[in-house]
């Protein structure tokens, strides 16, 4: 399947639609998920195009995973979490809805379930959570 340059995350990368960014480097961007399944739920994407894990280059994967690890530590510190869940979906049958490679980073607390998918978050609360993550990144 070909990469669609008009997918939502490509538009976020180009600044055509707003996002709450928490971290970026030359190769990757991390921003808050607008339908958070946990407080602090964020997404990490490569800045270069690929649909998902299946067509990503080793270079894209290694850059994204380094940022996923960095943000995993940051969300645990920011929310006093005891663990972190990483989710990643490939193609529609695999649960993927936005076709630009992304990893979900979800801070977790013992015994607290993820919220159901598809529920819009409170943008003021998401902005506060983003600030905590930026502070934890130092």
136 alpha-carbon distance from chain centroid: 16
Please count the CA atoms within 13 angstroms of the CA of 28 that sit on its side-chain side: 23
Judged by beta carbon, residue 25 or residue 91, the one nearer ligand 5GP is 91
As to burial, measured by CB atoms within 10 angstroms (0-12 exposed, 13-18 middle, 19+ buried), residue 77 is middle
CA 64, 100, 134, 37 torsion-angle sign = negative
Task: Assign residue 123 a region (left: φ > 0; alpha: ψ between -120 and 50; beta: otherwise).
Answer: alpha
- Does 102 qualify as catalytic in the annotation? yes
**Distance in angstroms (rounded) separating the CA atoms of residues 82 and 101:** 26
Instruction: Name the residue whose CB lies closest to ligand 5GP.
Output: 35
3 touching ligand 5GP, by CB under 6 A: no
Out of 7, 21, 27, 34, name the contact with ligand 5GP by CB under 6 A: 34
98 touching ligand 5GP, by CB under 6 A: yes
Interface characters, 99-138, with ligand 5GP (x: CB under 6 A): ---x------------------------------------
Residues in 61-90 at the binding interface with ligand 5GP, rule: CB under 6 A: 89
List interacting residues with ligand 5GP (CB under 6 A). Answer: 8, 19, 31-35, 89, 95-98, 102
Residues acting as catalytic residues:
102
């Amino acid at each position: 399947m070909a990469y669609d340059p008009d997918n939502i995350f490509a538009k976020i990368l180009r600044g055509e639609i707003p996002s709450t960014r928490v971290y970026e480097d030359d190769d990757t961007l991390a921003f808050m998920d607008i339908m958070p399944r946990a407080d602090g739920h964020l997404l990490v994407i490569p800045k270069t195009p690929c649909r998902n894990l299946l067509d990503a280059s080793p270079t894209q994967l290694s850059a994204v995973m380094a940022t996923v690890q960095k943000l995993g530590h940051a969300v645990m510190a920011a929310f006093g979490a005891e663990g972190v869940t990483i989710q990643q979906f490939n193609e529609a049958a695999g649960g993927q809805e936005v076709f630009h490679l992304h990893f979900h980073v979800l801070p977790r607390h013992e015994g607290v379930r993820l919220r159901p998918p598809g529920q819009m978050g409170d943008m003021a609360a998401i902005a506060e959570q983003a600030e905590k993550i930026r502070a934890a990144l130092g």
